A and B are shown apart, each in its own frame.
Chain A
């Protein structure tokens, strides 16, 4: 059986009212911000199903925006985020959808800017979240681990080149590709911290198109 912790039971300390609809929304926003890793010109938030229906009453919209702006789940400014100075100078839009092929609490972040990126995620309950897709690549990013994320050309030995360079224990490993020899993605969850030099080194590999080191979220 998987080992579980009491800390998940008696926390997080968060602003209410809903762990899935408020805290989960902030965490999804934070993960999306860290994956995009640039200052966007605009962000479109696409909310689905329960997120779209009950999102306003639960402050899901405020949570998503607050996360993208870098606020943590227990930041009391979330309540009035729309009136805050940081939000006033930020270009964003909310759209609402019903699509029962998607998770009840699903969201797409559409980042526009120097690079366009679409990041999809779900709030799966009790404040736990998962980023499931980045620009069409399926990933499984929960924010529970420091995660190394790479998009690269699907060529032999890429996995070994990456795993040989990181001197940290791997908790889980997820790969996907658009087709043989085409773009591929790797999401590696780590038990420890990775050295910035290693990230820089891996980023220099010819066939690596994008590399991100996404730190685990504070509980």
Chain B
């Protein structure tokens, strides 16, 4: 009989009762759901992982602009700076931020990406996962374990909140992507189930209220730069959780707060481009130019 896990508490209890990790419980659940085998599920996850790596590789080499001409050459800028000057980031953070820009810019120029959980937030999980794996020499199997963990976190949140800016704002897209990355990274670094879930809650709590106010209605401003910011945000949450810093508000209650905040957020700030950055003087000028 398949256990239908819908909350973080249920997930934690299932892990504690069986002594299994989140990815183990999840891949068994997924195999049963799809009437297939665990290796088959892992092969599907690997397809996403490979697409993420391809997008990074392609994106690093391009400075082609988007259809609108507003974005597309920031990854190139950042790489040049890191090549010329010493940053205070260290190699890992330099990788994460450039990989995030590479991926999200590949998205806006209609390149191939893995939506994770959405296209506008597609660079956060890959940049953390691939950037850190490369630096720490983490093998592919462990990367797949981490991506399954990320998926499990996103799935549980999506049971309460639709992962769409139009429904709950950017907190439900880039915010959730950052929470997924925090959990995945903690798993990858050998964190306990409790530490993984704490990383999720810590990352999520700090992004509640994030609105979706895209300039010209396009997945460009502020989405592009938000991806590297929230990738680093995920690392912070993971480091705190690995130090056994705990969320005072339980995981599921944080998601309740996310849901409530999404409902209270004005529709003008939920992907409709009717307020916020989208209606600033400069945004309106850009819009007039673009749609003339």
Query: Which chain A residues have a beta carbon within 8 Å of chain B's beta carbons?
Result: 1, 3-20, 22-23, 50, 53-54, 56-59, 62, 74, 76, 78-79, 104, 125-127
Contact = CB atoms under 8 A, between A and B. Distances in A.
A15 B115 contact: no
Interface of B: 4, 6, 26, 30, 33-34, 44-45, 47-48, 51, 66-68, 106-120, 122, 125, 147-148, 150-152, 154-155, 158-159, 162-164, 166-167, 180, 216-220, 290-291
B155 to A, nearest CB: 5
16 contacts: A6-B154, A9-B117, A9-B154, A10-B125, A14-B112, A14-B113, A14-B114, A14-B115, A15-B111, A16-B111, A17-B219, A17-B220, A54-B217, A57-B66, A57-B216, A127-B115
Contacts of B162: 125-126
A191 to B, nearest CB: 9
Name which of A17, A57, A79 has the most chain B CB atoms within 10 A of its CB. A17
A126 B114 CA distance: 12
A1 B114 CA distance: 27
Contacts of A4: 155, 158-159
Given A5-B33, A125-B167, 5 more contacts: A6-B26, A11-B47, A13-B115, A53-B217, A126-B118
A124 to B, nearest CB: 9
Contacts of A12: 114-115
A5 to B, nearest CB: 6
A9 B155 CA distance: 6
Given A19-B118, A57-B290, A9 B166 contact: no
A216 to B, nearest CB: 13
Nearest to A21: B219
A4 B155 CA distance: 7
A9 B116 contact: yes
A8 B106 CA distance: 21
Contacts of A6: 26, 30, 45, 148, 151-152, 154-155
Contacts of A13: 47-48, 51, 112-115
Given A13-B113, A16-B108, A76-B111, A58 B218 contact: yes
A20 B219 CA distance: 11
Contacts of A54: 216-218
A79 B110 contact: yes
A30 B115 CA distance: 19
A9 B110 CA distance: 20
A7 B217 CA distance: 27
